[in-house]
Amino acid sequence: MALLQTFALFVATALAEIVGCYLPWLWLRQGGPAWLLLPAAASLALFAWLLTLHPTATGRVYAAYGGVYIGVAIVWLMVVDKVKPTTTDWIGVGLCFAGMAVIMCGPARPASP
């Protein structure tokens, strides 16, 4: 159950990060209204707060989060940008998830002094 909760927290964190970066992109590149910067700032604040909820703030956790971020970004591409991901996109996501599983499920070594 803890693994599923961690994965859900990774997904929420990734969504907050993507939204926080996507809205300024809309403003700068697509001529969107400046008010988009307000929810963007709130989303990035949420992203930072969500990072504090991860069980441990270590490079191992953030490396595993990176795999989930990539998967969420590809789904974002499909749902929000209306771009159909390629087969290689999905293979890349699968490789990232496999790497994430190796990182998360592998034995942890104690930190060096």
Domain positions in the chain: 2-105
What are the distances in angstroms from CA 113 to CA 29, 38, 45, 110?
A: 46, 42, 32, 9
pLDDT in tens, 56-80: 766 777 888 888 899 999 999 999 9
Residues of the chain with pLDDT under 70: 1, 57-58, 108-113
Map tokens 């595993």 to a residue.
64
Per-residue pLDDT at 102: 86
Query: pTM for the whole thing?
Result: 0.81
